[in-house]
Amino acid sequence: MQSLIVIAPQTLTFGGLAAAVKARYPSARRSEERCIVEEGAAHAYLERDPFIPDELEPDVLARISHEIPNPHFFTLDFTDLDLCKAIVVAIADRDDVLVCDDHGNIRRGSKFVEQIRMSPSWDWR
């Protein structure tokens, strides 16, 4: 399982993100804590993770907090890169969202999605 971190303002709740996933994948299942997408053998889980700030370096957390005061942190765990890309396009194509990959690279959601659209085979892992 691999992961991305989605960082959102307080105005973008888990419910809002889950609704965007559900619009793209009507078969997605949602509980109060998690949204699950299964496409054949591929699956992805989106959930709020309040412990991410504890794991970030202070300078990284300061940068994030400067761009998005009091952010919500969400993890998107996935087994299939194409499924992950489709979910990211559905939830993060916004200037008020940040996406952080496993290498600590942080981009505006709209820029991350732009890279996916410009280079469909892009693999940030």
125 in a structural domain: no
124 in a structural domain: no
Phi, psi torsion values for 35, nearest 5 degrees = -115, 130
Contact status, residue 22 vs residue 30, Cβ threshold 8 Å:
yes
123 in a structural domain: no
Q: Is 97 exposed, middle or buried (0-12, 13-18, 19+ CB in 10 A)?
A: buried
Work out how many domains the chain is built from and give that number.
Answer: 1
Expressed as residue numbers, the domain containing 38 is 2-118
Give CA–CA dist 95/90, Å, rounded.
13
90 in a structural domain: yes
* pLDDT confidence of residue 109: 97
| pLDDT for residue 64 is more than 90 | yes
Q: Could you report the per-residue pLDDT of 79-92, keeping only the tens digit for each?
A: 999 999 999 999 99
The CATH number assigned to the domain holding 113 equals 3.30.310
111 in a structural domain: yes
Task: Show Cβ contacts of residue 38 under 8 Å, excluding neighbours closer than 6 positions.
Answer: 27
Q: Could you report the per-residue pLDDT of 4-37, keeping only the tens digit for each?
A: 999 999 999 999 999 999 999 999 999 888 999 9
